[in-house]
Amino acid sequence: MKNQFYSYIKDLQNQITKGLEKVDGKAQFKEDVWKRSEGGGGRSRILENGFVIEKGGVNISQVHGSLPESMQAYFKVGDVAFSACGLSLVIHPKNPMAPTVHANYRYFEMYDKSGKCIDQWFGGGLDLTPYYLFEEDAKHFHKQCKQACDEHHTEFYSDFKDKCDSYFYNAHRDEARGIGGLFFDYLRADKVFSISDRYNFVSSVGDSFLEAYLPILNRRKDLPYTSDQRNWQEIRRGRYVEFNLVHDKGTLFGLKTNGRIESVLMSLPPNVQWRYDYHPEKESEEAKLISILKNPVSWI
């Protein structure tokens, strides 16, 4: 399964980077192929200073080795080995009318000392982080998420949508990072779903990414904006950074397993602001966004 999934995400990385380069029209992804001294490696692709995308990364990796003690405590296991592979992407558009997007699709295995696989699961999801709220964009994004879920189970969308709203939440700010999407983790084989069923579901969600995001990016990338709106984008990016460094499981896992730091932190935007005790004007478009982030919406 790990080889099957890694082959899938290699192809998916190619599809996604090609689609994003076409929309940008100027910049191309720079590729770094790297190895991890403890075992495994990956292929990082970064795009910067394009016409449309200010910074974007689409990374894949397949790493393995002994699970560090810090992660043994996290997973509540003993001295085991692991293998993890996945694709992770974050796209930060230049235009504040266009939303940031994140997606991650991953597979994890654990082994005992004899090399026997003792656990395996899938995780991942995708979510949208707008700076100005366009309801048609939110509905489109969630519609694509629901369609990918409904192919496999009619309850998946509502379940994973709720988990996304709960996970991508800056509790210290009492607000969501964005308007959600899907989040799922520890998708193991059970009485209903085989591990192949889980693979089919996660690959369906991965295949839906471009249709979920590119129509939105194309609608918003050329809209006019002011310097004040750009400032607001950078202030909200600060909240994005706070979540990724304080709460995000993927970032913490990468740092605690001696991950490649440039790949782990590729999600951080290039230009960010933190203003002291900043609040948008009442009844403004910026205030409308904050209201939504404090009260998750059912977009479908």
* Domain boundaries along the sequence of the chain: 2-294
Please name the residue that has the structure tokens 């495994």: 40
* CA-angle at 255, arms to 251 and 258, nearest 5°: 140
According to CATH, what is the number of the domain 2-294?
A: 3.40.1500.10
Phi, psi of 125 (to 5 degrees): 145, -170
Q: How confident is the model at residue 76 (pLDDT cuts 50, 70, 90)?
A: confident
Residue 155: CA count within 13 A, CB half-sphere: 1
What positions carry a catalytic annotation? Answer: 102
**Prediction pTM value:** 0.95
Which pLDDT tens digit goes with each residue over 259-293?
788 888 888 999 999 999 999 999 999 999 999 99
Q: Which element (helix H / strand E) includes 210? A: helix 209-220
User: CA 286 to CA 280: how far, in whole Å?
Assistant: 6
Which pLDDT tens digit goes with each residue over 181-217?
999 999 999 999 999 999 999 999 999 999 999 999 9
User: CA 19 to CA 12: how far, in whole Å?
Assistant: 11
Which pLDDT tens digit goes with each residue over 230-261?
999 999 999 999 999 999 888 887 887 777 88
Q: Which residues contact 30 (CB under 8 A, 6 or more apart)?
A: 45, 46, 47, 48
Residue 120's pLDDT is: 97
Q: How confident is the model at residue 34 (pLDDT cuts 50, 70, 90)?
A: very high
Which pLDDT tens digit goes with each residue over 170-179?
999 999 999 9
Phi, psi of 111 (to 5 degrees): -135, 145
Mean pLDDT over all residues of the chain?
95
End-to-end alpha-carbon separation of the chain, Å?
34
User: CA 196 to CA 296: how far, in whole Å?
Assistant: 32
